[in-house]
Amino acid sequence: MKHRISASIAAALLISALASCGDAASPETKDTGTAPAVTEAVTAAPTIYDDLPKEDYGGYEFRVLNNTSNFAYTNFGLEGQTGEALDDVIFERNAKVEEALNIKLVITDMGWEDNQKAINTAVPAGEDAYDIYFNELHFVLGQALNGYLLDYTDIDSFNFDNVWWNKNAIESASIGESIYAAFGDLHLMYYECFFPIVFNKQILNNLDLDDPYQLVNDGKWTLDAMMTMMMAAKQDVDGDGKWTVADQYPIGVWEHNVNGLLVSAGADVLTKNKDNIPVWEGLDEHFINVYDKLVASAFADKTNNVANAAGFKSENGSEVLHVMMQEGKVLFYIEPLGSVKKMRDVDYEIGVVPMPKYDEAQKEYRSYIYHGAGSMGIPKTNSDPERTGVICEYLAAYSHETVRETYFNETLDFKYIQDEEGQKMLDIIFANGTVDLTAVYGWGTAMTTIRGQLFKGKTDIVSVVEKRAAKIESGIADTVEALANVEG
């Protein structure tokens, strides 16, 4: 990817040139006896937009195929302002980019299934129907394997070193030298797919438990710290000896989300070699230690998890996990951020912290990004990838200080995270997001098997996964070969 001369460098060169001119002889001036007025030069402060190229695309209609979601915010631009802060700032973002580049954004919204069909139909037919599209990561990368997408590394106008892209997440989803899926501030669904821990402050205060915010700041928010608090919160409220919806629970998590606890504790199923190729070497000692700790302290006893609470009757498709959390009967709640909006009307205060580290020796908090995270792909039929790169850089850049900040601080989705510490926690949660490729590609059903065993509290994980080793290895090999054929 090419790099342009930054505004600051250009300014320095200009100043240098002016200084050199000052050394040349100048004509004599008549002494009037009055001191000349001093005019101070006013230099505009540099902005994050200074490096964006100046282009005029003559009214080009930039076609975006956008996905809609049943849990996440996916608006990419409505026809007018709605009065909702986030909707309106996205509308304004689009208007500014349209004016700056002389383009018109044409946005088509579809659910993930229709979205997938649209790309699977248009690209093989050679139809240049969309400049970019957004869909869940596993669908986008699957279409890359079919040869339907362009490789971002071949498009010079994209620069993922810019602050408005999430380079960490992009690299975690990549294999080899190619990049087929991108995450950035121009589309918010991927933020909605980070996993935090939501906690009930009322339960915490009633039991005089440690402050999770302080534990995070001190580097002491670990699995052990979380599990200790969980056990203190578990209460048979009605004293009947049965664990039903009448009682109070330590945790609420669905089976398909438990692998977030593994990722946050550094328990990775696979590694990548020096060439960025996934490698299966069996479950290592650290993975086994994390898994065993989670089983022993949280999942072996099924009554710890409100997802297993007896006596729940669904109304209007409601789910026990969300209803019990809304009623204030669960200490910790593990769901993607997009689902946390279900807590907006609770009558108690909640807090948000990153998923816990394994122990205090672990350097950073890691956040699991759900494999259905909204990501951007570029159809292979795109007629001008360099133009697309410039437009996307503008959309992402103009989102960084407006859309992103509104999303973090002002939207309805986050109105319940009202304390300053909770807002700081969001920065930590978003700082080290990572995608789990075993969940994305489903190699040998490794992750499905692991999270199923963990959720059921099964201790025998090594032998169960080893039975799938051949399929895991062949799955990885097939994916790498498919990508090589696409790139070749």
pLDDT tens, 10-39?
333 333 333 333 333 333 434 444 444 444
Q: What is the pLDDT of residues 307-333, one digit of tens each?
A: 999 999 888 778 999 999 999 999 999
Q: How far apart are CA 288 and CA 459, in angstroms?
A: 10
Cβ pair 434, 260 in contact under 8 A: no
Cβ pair 329, 346 in contact under 8 A: no
Cβ pair 157, 386 in contact under 8 A: yes
Q: Which sign does the torsion angle of CA 451, 454, 455, 459 carry?
A: positive
Q: Where are the domains of the chain?
A: 60-192+371-414, 196-369+436-487
Residues 6 or more apart in contact with residue 318 via CB below 8 angstroms = none
Cβ pair 351, 422 in contact under 8 A: yes
Average pLDDT over the chain, rounded to an integer: 89
User: Which segments in the chain show pLDDT lower than 70?
Assistant: 1-45, 411-418, 488
Cβ pair 306, 254 in contact under 8 A: no
Task: Tokens for 465, please give them.
Answer: 């996964």
Residue with tokens 């909707």: 87
Least Cα distance to 400 among 195, 190, 187, 161 occurs for 187
Task: Tokens for 125, please give them.
Answer: 């037919």
CATH of 196-369+436-487, one of 1.10.357.10, 3.40.190.10, 1.10.10.10, 3.90.870.40: 3.40.190.10
At residue 15, the pLDDT reads 34
Q: Do domains 60-192+371-414 and 196-369+436-487 have the same CATH topology?
A: yes
Q: How far apart are CA 247 and CA 443, in angstroms?
A: 39
> How far is the CA of 469 from the CAs of 285, 288, 462, in angstroms?
17, 16, 10
Tell me the longest C-alpha to C-alpha distance in the chain.
Answer: 103
Q: What CATH architecture is 60-192+371-414? A: 3-Layer(aba) Sandwich (3.40)
Record the pTM: 0.87
Sheet holding 60-68, edge to edge: 103-111, 60-68, 132-136, 374-377
Q: How far apart are CA 367 and CA 436, in angstroms?
A: 11
Q: Which residues of 67-97 are buried (b: 16+ CB within 10 A; e: fewer)?
A: bbbebbbbbbbeeeeeeeebbebbbebbeeb
At residue 487, the pLDDT reads 76
